Amino acid sequence: MTAAATPELTLMEGAAAIGEAAILAGCRFFAGYPMSPFTPLLEHLAEALPAAGGTCINCESEIEGVNMALGAASTGARAATGSCGQGIALMQEAIAEAALNETPMVVFNLARNQQDYFQATRGGGWGDYRTITLAPKDVPEAIEHTQLLFHLSDLHRAPTMLYGDPLLAQTRVGVRLEKLDFGPLPPKDWELDGTRGGTGQSRQVWTWAMGKATDPGPGPDLHWQNIAAKFAAINEIEQRSESAHCEDADTVVVAFGSAALFVEHVVAELRAEGHRVGWFRPITLWPFPGPALEEATRSARRVLVYELNGGQMIDDVRQYAHDRSAIRFIGGVSIHESGLSYGPLLDAPVIRERILAALPEGDPR
Amino acid sequence: MTTESTIERGPVVPTGTAPLGLTPVASTSPLLLGEHSLCPGCGEPVALRILLETLQELGIVQRTIGVVGHGCYGSFVRIMDIDVLQCLHGRAPSCATGIKRMRPDVATFTLQGDGDMVNEGLQEVLHTAARGENVTAILLNNGVFGDTGGQQTATTVVGQRTKTSLEGRDAAVHGHPIPVADLVASLDGVGYVGRGTVGTAGGVLRTKKMIRTAFESQLAGEGFSLVEILTMCPTGWFVTAPQGPDYMASSMEEVYPLGDLRPRTKGTT
Amino acid sequence: MSTRGTLTIDPEKCKGCELCLAACPPDVLTMSSELNSVGYRYPILHDGCTGCTACSLVCPDHVFEVYRFPRSRT
Amino acid sequence: MQNMASTPTDGRPDEFAVRLAGIGGQGIQLIGKTLALAATRAGRHAMLAADYGGEMRGGPSNASVVVGPPVAEAPRLRSLPVLPAFHAAIVANHRFTGVVPERLVPGAVLLLNSSVVDPAGAGEGYQVTAVPATRLAAELGVPQAGGFVLLGAFIALVPLVSEESLVEAMTSLLPAYRRQHAEGNARALRAGIETVAGVAA
């Protein structure tokens, strides 16, 4: 082995790669509270963000962290926060607040144990809001999604969420860190910079959007109608998904995040053995790629939903699958003994067995 | 690591079986149902043991409810033979308030770390104290989030290295530590506040006495009581287990002096 | 050094933290050269224990039980 | 159901999977990172999937390392972060995994830290090598470097990467406040190689 060839790839832990991607995207504020497996992202940014001219705060709790990020974002800076499980639950109030006062920021949800699909897509905040949520299946895609989310946040003036998990956070792989450009963005003519006092043109960031006495705003009724209409429009244009082998598939397996990586691996193997199986993966958890799923399951007699929870995404699959009676749940709750990661269900041989068990006898004919 | 000491020592004494006819003057608490899984040299199991011994000596084991926060000490919930509510991170004093209001005759205590009490739940402990709730809070202070690998907390002392302050806590960047016991001691509604350490045998004995005083204050209805216990976390401090007590004394005890911060006024300490 | 007490030591519970060595007033505890089943060295007792319980006070892993000999035996 | 790998006896599979098993504090994660980084810097696809619980010292600490083909020869690794098969295993401590970790293919290389693990428990069907890593590291005056003794022994058995690339990777992985261990770790690595290769210094 001669001197190391110039390595085209850099070995990075998923959480660190996400941190670097956020810096590449221009993130200059991050606040977070330690909670496994999200903690390595906080640790990486605590070191790397100040070096990039930004600020990283190891905050006193998740409620303060998300509100620090909201404050930073209201000045026009690209800001982010993150956590998982209970920590994301504590942040719901502020995520809804940011949706309704139109403050862009990115929330990194590096979930643990169960796949918190409901929490990410239904949220627990208040008012008519949704949260654009991208769920990468591996570290390279997480690097792309992180930068895309900062773009979508600014484009739609709304908080967005990266949905990751313990495998994504803790696995190290060789990656390429490249800055991505997603095109032009509207100017931040709403940002607070403290210079408009006394001019009669002073600004406000406020969910009620009452404006100023001299320049009244739409007020809560009209403003929240506009927000609802905004999310309805986002629902149409920001759907993303991926699928393979579905054209002639009589069985389609639906999964998201790291779980989809395993399903992809197993389906490729079953295809090689002659089974007519395909897979479908929502990349955006919200907006859910309903029409694409309907198309992908057109020829399917069996739609197998594989999730690591008691069955959550299956609710959306039921809304859109071509034939609802074909839907079967093959996932389940499966927790690592430490209570910090996935359990034995996330394993290729187990998934293979569950798919085969759902196929008719003698498949392939 | 120990170097081979040069002191001339007597012969090795067998320690496999107990001497016949003698009862031990010190042994494992019967209220421990199993082993904890914490790091070598951790101070938290020592704090747990003297807490359980105090409940036993006060004869209130069947009249006690514990409320445990989130941290390495979470592994005690499984092994302490006491009625326990495992509550959410930082919320123990609030849950303890609800418990004590419903069962005023039951001794109620919280078991929390510095991350739990001084980061996530600072609001809870200050309001519970100011309300004069008749509960006892036990704070295990090791200056790091041990459970997630050693990040900085609100009680990390200036200059201390952690995973989120790798060059040592810098007040200009990370702010100053919060001496929560002193804050609580300044509030009306408080019956007793003490701060002890488990770094030395003498420290363990004095801390155990503080725990007893706190529970006596609670049982006498004198309001909120708090015992802050400095505990070693060699893993989080980037030191070896034997270095834990000395490191703690030189770093934390300088910022958090030991003793009764708020002696009992009504009863006798 | 008069021996006024003794210990039982459970090597399997020990995690090799050595806190007991520094705490022992008569300094009669040293670490074994053998390893327990997990791979940790554990304390061994030399003559001169006073039964003062310092080791059991600081031990995080309940390795010690302390006994005191009746006065007449010294 | 293999991760597309044949057994190691008839030549190494293109994606070679190693299971590292031990307890927190033995350096399992560091030697896993070192091996994966050395392979990446040699222009190969590599992956380290960490598998540990809450405790940092004394708790279970396992890792899976995959050393794959040169980046030019494949777009990405096929292996999943949870592997169905391992072609080798390094067992620094058997408390949580037993002497033979799960999913070790027949004929796999099984390297045991005989200071703690009893080689007799390995049974037949594997290429077993026993190295008293904990004792060797203590004798070298670097008690915390037992993991690198094992890593050195491993690459002598399965030359996935060079000793030089491992030393360089290890050194770059150590944070500033631990850099003083680099020299000792390198000596431990060399000692590991020599115990297996039987080559005097």
**Domain harbouring D95, CATH code:** 3.40.920.10
Position B203, amino acid: G
Domain of residue D136, residue span: 16-195
B37 touches chain D (CB under 8 A): yes
pLDDT of residue A200: 86
Nearest CA in chain B to A34: B148
pLDDT of residue A1: 44
Residue D4 inside a domain? The answer is no
* Chain B CB contacts of C5 below 8 Å: 25
Inspect the interface and report whether the beta carbons of D58 and B39 lie closer than 8 Å: yes
B161 touches chain A (CB under 8 A): no
Q: Same domain for A129 and A27?
A: yes
Residue D189 inside a domain? The answer is yes
pLDDT of residue B69: 94
CATH at residue A308: 3.40.50.920
Inspect the interface and report whether the beta carbons of B45 and C60 lie closer than 8 Å: yes
Beta strands at B190-197 and B259-262: parallel, antiparallel or unpaired: antiparallel
| H-run or E-run covering A233 | helix A219-237
Q: How far apart are CA D13 and CA D6, in angstroms?
A: 6
B71 touches chain A (CB under 8 A): no
Inspect the interface and report whether the beta carbons of D58 and B161 lie closer than 8 Å: no
Inspect the interface and report whether the beta carbons of D80 and A174 lie closer than 8 Å: no
Provide CB contacts within 8 A for A77, sequence distance 6+: A28, A29
User: Looking at the partner chain, which of B13, B23, B38 has a beta carbon nearest the beta carbon of C47?
Assistant: B13
Domain of residue A15, residue span: 10-175
Residue A223 inside a domain? The answer is no
| Mean of pLDDT values over A23-34 | 97
Query: Which of the listed residues A117, A144, A175 is the one where a domain comes to its end?
Result: A175
* Chain B CB contacts of A61 below 8 Å: 89-90, 119-121
Size of interface B-D (CB pairs under 8 A): 27
Inspect the interface and report whether the beta carbons of C6 and B244 lie closer than 8 Å: no
Question: Residue D151 — very low, low, confident or very high, per pLDDT cuts 50/70/90?
Answer: very high
What is the overall mean pLDDT for chain A? 95
pLDDT of residue D7: 41
Q: Would the pLDDT of D5 be above 60?
A: no
| Mean of pLDDT values over C32-58 | 94
Fold of B32-262: Rossmann fold (3.40.50)
Inspect the interface and report whether the beta carbons of B15 and C45 lie closer than 8 Å: yes
Q: Would the pLDDT of B269 be above 60?
A: no
Beta strands at B144-145 and B151-152: parallel, antiparallel or unpaired: antiparallel
The closest alpha carbon to A266, from A157, A345, A158, belongs to A345
For residue range B232-249, what is the model confidence (pLDDT) as tens digits?
A: 999 999 999 999 999 999
Task: Quote the pTM value.
Answer: 0.89
* B7 CA: distance to closest CA in chain D (Å): 22
Q: Please, is A229 exposed, middle or buried when counting C-beta atoms within 10 Å of its C-beta (0-12, 13-18, 19+)?
A: exposed
* Chain C CB contacts of D93 below 8 Å: 38-39
Q: Same domain for A139 and A261?
A: no
User: Looking at the partner chain, which of B7, B24, B44 has a beta carbon nearest the beta carbon of C67?
Assistant: B24
Residue D173 inside a domain? The answer is yes
CA D194 distance to own-chain centroid: 16
| Mean of pLDDT values over A196-205 | 88
Inspect the interface and report whether the beta carbons of D23 and C38 lie closer than 8 Å: yes
Residue A114 inside a domain? The answer is yes
Q: Answer whether B40's CB lies under 8 Å from B235's CB.
A: no
A334 touches chain D (CB under 8 A): no
For residue range A309-359, what is the model confidence (pLDDT) as tens digits?
A: 999 999 999 999 999 999 999 999 999 988 888 999 999 999 999 999 999
Q: How many domains does chain D have?
A: 1
Measured in degrees and rounded to the nearest 5, phi and psi for residue A303 equal: -115, 105
* B53 CA: distance to closest CA in chain C (Å): 12
Inspect the interface and report whether the beta carbons of B120 and A33 lie closer than 8 Å: yes
Q: Would the pLDDT of A7 be above 70?
A: no
* A324 CA: distance to closest CA in chain D (Å): 31
| Mean of pLDDT values over D187-198 | 94
Phi-psi region of C3 (alpha: psi -120 to 50; beta: other; left: phi over 0): beta
Inspect the interface and report whether the beta carbons of C39 and D58 lie closer than 8 Å: no
Residue A106 inside a domain? The answer is yes
Inspect the interface and report whether the beta carbons of B235 and D57 lie closer than 8 Å: yes
* D35 CA: distance to closest CA in chain C (Å): 25
Q: Answer whether B126's CB lies under 8 Å from B183's CB.
A: yes
Question: Residue D6 — very low, low, confident or very high, per pLDDT cuts 50/70/90?
Answer: very low
D134 touches chain C (CB under 8 A): yes
pLDDT of residue D56: 82
Residue D10 inside a domain? The answer is no
pLDDT of residue A221: 97
Q: Answer whether C49's CB lies under 8 Å from C28's CB.
A: yes
The closest alpha carbon to A119, from A313, A268, A299, A250, belongs to A313
What is the overall mean pLDDT for chain D? 91
Q: Answer whether D21's CB lies under 8 Å from D90's CB.
A: yes
* C11 CA: distance to closest CA in chain D (Å): 15
D45 touches chain A (CB under 8 A): yes
Domain boundaries, chain B: 32-262
pLDDT of residue A154: 98
Nearest CA in chain B to D58: B39
Q: How many domains does chain A have?
A: 2
Inspect the interface and report whether the beta carbons of D58 and B40 lie closer than 8 Å: yes
Residue A218 inside a domain? The answer is no
pLDDT of residue A297: 97
Nearest CA in chain D to C38: D95
Inspect the interface and report whether the beta carbons of A47 and B120 lie closer than 8 Å: no
CATH at residue A164: 3.40.50.970
Residue A201 inside a domain? The answer is no
What is the overall mean pLDDT for chain B? 93
Query: How high is the ipTM of this complex?
Result: 0.84
Could you tell me which residue, B146 or A197, shows the higher pLDDT? B146
pLDDT of residue C1: 56
Q: Would the pLDDT of B6 be above 90?
A: no
* D55 CA: distance to closest CA in chain B (Å): 7
Q: Same domain for A164 and A32?
A: yes
* C66 CA: distance to closest CA in chain D (Å): 26
Mutating which of C13, C17, C32, C35 best tests the D interface, going by the most D Cβ atoms within 10 A? C35
pLDDT of residue C72: 66
Paired with A108 in beta bridges are: A82, A162
Query: Which of the listed residues A129, A153, A175 is the one where a domain comes to its end?
Result: A175
The set of chains that have 3 or more CB pairs under 8 A with B is A, C, D
Provide CB contacts within 8 A for B106, sequence distance 6+: B63, B64, B65, B99, B100
Asked which of A293-297, C44-48, D53-57, D91-95 is least confident by mean pLDDT, the reply is D53-57
Question: Residue B5 — very low, low, confident or very high, per pLDDT cuts 50/70/90?
Answer: low
Q: Would the pLDDT of D1 be above 60?
A: no
**Residues from D in contact with B at Cβ < 8 Å:** 24, 54-59, 143, 175-177
Provide CB contacts within 8 A for C35, sequence distance 6+: C41, D115, D116, D134
The set of chains that have 3 or more CB pairs under 8 A with D is A, B, C
Nearest CA in chain D to B71: D54
Inspect the interface and report whether the beta carbons of D134 and C15 lie closer than 8 Å: no
Size of interface C-D (CB pairs under 8 A): 15
Inspect the interface and report whether the beta carbons of C39 and D93 lie closer than 8 Å: yes
For residue range A215-259, what is the model confidence (pLDDT) as tens digits?
A: 999 999 999 999 999 999 999 999 999 999 999 999 999 999 999
The set of chains that have 3 or more CB pairs under 8 A with C is B, D
Residue A142 inside a domain? The answer is yes
Q: Would the pLDDT of C74 be above 60?
A: no
Question: Residue D91 — very low, low, confident or very high, per pLDDT cuts 50/70/90?
Answer: very high
